[in-house]
Amino acid sequence: MRRVAAAFGVSRSALADAVKRAEAPVAPADEVQHVPRAAPGDEELLGRIRSHVSERPSYGYRFVTAMLNTDVAAGQRVNHKRTYRLMREHGLLLARHTGRPTLRHDGKVTTLKSDLRWCSDGFEIRCWNGEKVHVVFSLDCCDREAMAFRASTSHPTGETIRDLMAETIEHRFGAGSVATSHPVEWLSDNGPPFVAEETRRFGARAGLLVVNTPAYSPESNGMAEAFVKTFKRDYVHVKKNPDAATVLARLQACFDDYNEVRPHSRLGMRSPRSFRRRQGVA
């Protein structure tokens, strides 16, 4: 030991300690016990978290935090890091999404004010008995409110889209309004009901600037595509869909929940209508 220590230029005691550490048995990784650190109020907060997760199983920790902060008194807000810790310790976190978009889109769909651009799209809900519910909707590209929708077991037609346009205009500009008070862009894809000549003429008469995305470029209508993904994840896949009648009966409640309750990250974790009320335009 003396000669080895002299060769390395270290003391014998330091060398002996290094040998002891190297020879010490290492506990297997599965035997290492992690004891969660508890903080005052964690048990009560965990119960509220479980309640929200049970009701909205598609929500991650940030959305759960936003929901927690909607029902607490001022000055008692919950930090998202605390929510993350509790959800991680109790296995309540969602699986991390690792997908990457295959196409790049550099255009800007978002507007700085409401009622400058509306986007529209459609999707279908497949029921367990084989029936399908076809839904078309309109969305404001600033405040993200789902202003109107049409749903049926039949495929949407040009008349369906024209009715959707009329209902959207009345929703934003008042009952009985047949046209917008200023030009508003209506953005949609190239589906036959959206590009029909009669639909384009109706939109022009109603003050809408009807614009269609380039062919094979759904990313150009990315906000509507994102809404479809969100709606299916939060209101379709987590529900029972035995038949078309059941789905049609609850669609209005789902759209109302999206507009009034669901937090949106681009709106400061507020719901669309809460954001509009804050902006003084509700």
Contacts of 3 (CB under 8 A, 6+ apart): none
Across the chain, mean pLDDT equals 86
pLDDT value at position 89? Answer: 87
pLDDT value at position 207? Answer: 96
How does residue 77 score in pLDDT terms, banded at 50, 70 and 90?
confident
pLDDT value at position 202? Answer: 97
pLDDT value at position 31? Answer: 54
Indicate if the pLDDT at residue 161 is higher than 70. Answer: yes
Kindly list the distances between the CA atom of residue 238 and the CA atoms of 46, 68, 152, 231, in Å, as whole numbers in the listed order: 22, 20, 21, 10
Q: Helix or strand or coil: residue 27?
A: coil
pLDDT value at position 149? Answer: 98
pLDDT value at position 126? Answer: 96
211-267 confidence digits (pLDDT tens): 988 765 556 688 999 999 999 999 999 999 999 999 999 999 999 999 999 999 889
Residues 54-76 have a mean pLDDT of: 80
Indicate if the pLDDT at residue 4 is higher than 50. Answer: yes
Is 69 or 207 the better-scoring residue by pLDDT? 207
Contacts of 115 (CB under 8 A, 6+ apart): 140, 142, 172, 180, 182, 184
How does residue 103 score in pLDDT terms, banded at 50, 70 and 90?
very low
Residues 103-120 have a mean pLDDT of: 76
How does residue 98 score in pLDDT terms, banded at 50, 70 and 90?
low
The per-type count for the chain, helices as H runs and strands as E runs, is 11, 5
Residues 159-184 have a mean pLDDT of: 96
Measured in degrees and rounded to the nearest 5, phi and psi for residue 265 equal: -65, -35
pLDDT value at position 178? Answer: 93
